[in-house]
Structure 1
Amino acid sequence: MSIALISGLIIAVVLIILLLAGVPIAISLGISSILAILPTLNFDAAVLTGAQRTFSGISVFTLIAIPFFILAGNIMNKGGIALRLINFAKVLTGRVPGALAHTNSIANMMFGAISGSGVAAASAMGSMIGPIAEKDGYDKDYMATVNIASAPTGLLIPPSNVLITYSLVSGGTSVAALFMAGYIPGILWGLSCMIVAFFIAKKKGYKNTKRITLSQGLKVALEAVPSLLLILIVIGGIIAGVFTATEGSVVAVVYSLVLSLFFYKTIKLKDLYNIFKESAEMTGIIVFLIGVSSIMAWVMAFTGIPSAISNSLLTLTNSPVVILLIINIVLLFVGTFMDITPAVLIFTPIFLPICQNLGMSPIQFGIMITFNLCIGTITPPVGNILFVGVKVAKTKIENVMKKLIPYYVAIYAVLLLTTYVPKVTMWLPLLMGYKK
């Protein structure tokens, strides 16, 4: 039995046992990785190397962007930005069938992108739009499904902490290129949800009878401009080379703080302590997870696990179409029970080399793995966005699951486009000159 197989089995078995026992994911990763290297190294060397890998894994300048984007997101979540984006989305959707459902989808795309959190988007949009929709005669389960299905789009549309994490674990893939690559798949996801919502709304007769005058529309748009400018300033600055993604995260914090404190005046100075505290706690969890996952990445590389998995897949089939389909199925399954960040950290070193051997760019693979894992956030048994959306809508999980099926079909169709049509992800990075 090869060392790669032995180490791989140890990691898989120990990790599953510890997770089922309720051990935190970061601790589970560290223990399973150390045990997996013991057949090759003695205990002292394994622990010392593991500690070194943990610190080297978090000693990366790009990583500083994550706590600042988290802080910016928390400021915006409490800064009244969601309401402005909802009002702006209402103007865009007009009086088409299911207008409030489309409003929800567009607002999720914008707010999720700005806040960097699908859970925050589902919670904020569901709690604000839900009561209005119910008052206008919309079925709350219909609105819940739209909200849940479209909430993860902000994890693909930049700025995205998941893509920054992937950049680190993939060996330094350009963050700016990843940000550009996420736009089209993220927008297509949102549009696919709107198309499904449109046909269901037309069938059920959901129509918006209220007209928005030109003056009202202009007023709402002007109120939303400062919020929308955040995306333009941060992403535009990164793309133009004015500042890096890390520096852009600081700009996002300063801008959102000024906007919430002095322009909208929705946050007071006394609120900042709790905002900073929440951001620090979330950062600590993510950064520790990234550090510990560096041990697993090293163990996998040292024992040759990715090569062994690649060879195994190639013995099953030499068809790139089938191999990519198998990888997608595995990632979809993983995403149903594991959070996005640890899944990206664990499975990128395994599947990225395989996809690169098939000619796929690391940029395209980054969007593909993120897309798969985002679907997991709206899929049982662990999908956090699914359960938040159900709770906010004050409905039951069994009421929305059947109604989510057409949305799943539409989203999977976009996933297949993202996987098999490189231009879906690569067109913008190529246009902006990030890859020749």
Structure 2
Amino acid sequence: MEYITIIVLVLSFITLMGLGVPVAWSLGFSSLLTLMITVATVPSMTTIAQRMGAGLNSFSLLAIPFFILAGEIMNKGGIANRLINLAKAITGRLPGGLLYVNVIAAMLFGAIAGSAVAAASALGGILGKRMDEEGYPKELGVAVNVTSSTTGLIIPPSNILIVYSLASGGVSIGALFVAGYIPGLFVGLLLMLTAAFFIRKHKLPQGETTSFSEFGSVFLKAAPSLTLLVIVIGGIVVGIFTATEASAIAVLYTLGLSFIYGELKVKDLPAILLKSSSTTAVVALLIATSMSMSWVMSSEDIPQSISQILLSLSDNKYIILIIINLTLLFVGVFMDMTPAVLIFTPIFLPVVSELGIDPVHFGIIMVLNLCIGLCTPPVGSVLFIGVGVAKTSIAKVVKPLLPFFIAMIIGLIVITLFPEMTLWLPSLFGL
């Protein structure tokens, strides 16, 4: 029976997606159809509704709407501009400096807001015009913006790491946050090295000279924004507050800072709250339907069956990790990150745990892997945002995007093979 349920679950989900049904609804309906094989219609509908509600009944999930709101406030409150100016000051007179600025600013932005979509939108809108004026190939700028924006999902605070903590059954959010620093910075470095190749190829112009006094001025203006990172992550690591409490503090801090900068008015708040609520609603529905599918899979022993299949193939953890990474790379092309993490964590985590792989390390591997899917059609939300802001087409962006894909995959391989890169900082802080 369990193989029939797997077939029904997979085929119904693929069919609904193929018909253009939104991901969240496809997850919910395919879960319902699968449960109806063994349970009557009305009880099946009631159970799915209950599991959707139960899936959202988690205190830690409150951090997601707060971090989303903090990101929107950052976008409107002038914080993003100050981070970009700091990144410009760091790059100095490097040729093609605006590409480096994009990567550095994306990492800084992600380290405060934790949103790839917000980073791609803000940085693309601000830097895109400047790149056009200085003769940068538009599609190259989009490729750098799209891929570098995903580093914010690895560098904390990160909403998707909170989702992984929920799906894994309670892996420490603090440990996941701290573990993301070195992998996130490493991927950013690889993207910068890839950008350097294109800078030399296209002979891009040099950046502006920044004197020591000018750098000091820019840094002081950006310092209050960077202080948020110290407050949020430092407070979690030290144990002053939880990740959920930290997210609320992030909202209050960014709100106060934006008013002090004078770039946010009271009249702007309704639009910010509305956009944040809309984004939160989409994420919440994805989480609810994904949790219902996870429950159906668990009740039908699907994760156990897949675990047995994987472990029967090999007892070499690297072989298993290669299979899992290839599977997630494929899944990431067609499925958004949130449902992918919620559905595949219960399937793969028991397998890697049995092979002695740390769940914190696996969480970073999974998130980094799925970040690549955000940059690929047909579901790549960050790709669509980047292309839309630049007013170009996906077809034109694909060619310059490929080398950056390769850089991200190299980063994934290195981080997979060397767990110390992920686990050293958490162990240093006793997490």
TM-score range, shorter chain: over 0.9
Structure 1 residue 26: Cα displacement: 2.3
Contact preservation (8 Å) 1:344, 1:369: yes
* Partner Cα distance (1:311, 1:37) in 2: 22
CA deviations over 1:87-118 (Å, ceiling 9, x no partner): 00011111223211111100011113322221
| Equivalent of 2:204 in 199, 203, 206 | 206
Q: Report 1:131-142 matches (<5 A).
A: 131-142=129-140
* Partner Cα distance (1:121, 1:309) in 2: 36
Structure 2 match to 1:302: 299
Task: Give the direction of change, closer, same or farther, for the CA distance of 1:145–1:26 in structure 2 (3 Å limit).
Answer: closer
| Equivalent of 2:103 in 79, 102, 105 | 105
Task: Give the direction of change, closer, same or farther, for the CA distance of 1:43–1:396 in structure 2 (3 Å limit).
Answer: closer
CA deviations over 1:371-403 (Å, ceiling 9, x no partner): 111101112232122222223233332332122
SS of the residue 1:41 aligns to: coil
* Partner Cα distance (1:190, 1:91) in 2: 18
TM-score where L is the length of structure 1: 0.95
Structure 1 match to 2:410: 413
Q: Which amino acid aligns with 1:374?
A: C
Question: Which segment drifts farther, 34-43 or 377-386?
Answer: 34-43
Q: Which amino acid aligns with 1:331?
A: L
Task: Give the direction of change, closer, same or farther, for the CA distance of 1:316–1:60 in structure 2 (3 Å limit).
Answer: same
Structure 1 residue 46: Cα displacement: 2.8
Q: Which amino acid aligns with 2:357?
A: M
Contact preservation (8 Å) 2:87, 2:101: yes
Structure 2 match to 1:401: 398
* Partner Cα distance (1:206, 1:24) in 2: 41
Question: Which segment drifts farther, 153-162 or 131-140?
Answer: 131-140
Question: Which segment drifts farther, 196-205 or 163-172?
Answer: 196-205
1:166 aligns with 2:164: yes
Structure 2 match to 1:77: 75
Contact preservation (8 Å) 1:95, 1:207: no
Contact preservation (8 Å) 1:93, 1:102: yes
Question: Which segment drifts farther, 27-36 or 323-332?
Answer: 27-36
SS of the residue 2:180 aligns to: helix
Structure 1 match to 2:19: 21
Structure 1 residue 280: Cα displacement: 1.6
| Equivalent of 1:349 in 342, 346, 351 | 346
* Partner Cα distance (1:299, 1:248) in 2: 33
Structure 1: stretches of 5+ with no match in the other structure? none
Q: Which amino acid aligns with 2:86?
A: F
SS of the residue 2:27 aligns to: helix
| Equivalent of 2:275 in 261, 268, 278 | 278
Structure 1 residue 197: Cα displacement: 1.1
Contact preservation (8 Å) 2:56, 2:288: yes
Contact preservation (8 Å) 1:33, 1:299: yes
| Equivalent of 1:257 in 245, 255, 258 | 255
TM-score where L is the length of structure 2: 0.96
Structure 1 residue 269: Cα displacement: 0.6
How many residues are treated as equivalent by the alignment? 431
SS of the residue 1:249 aligns to: helix
Question: Which segment drifts farther, 127-136 or 170-179?
Answer: 127-136
Task: Give the direction of change, closer, same or farther, for the CA distance of 1:328–1:123 in structure 2 (3 Å limit).
Answer: same
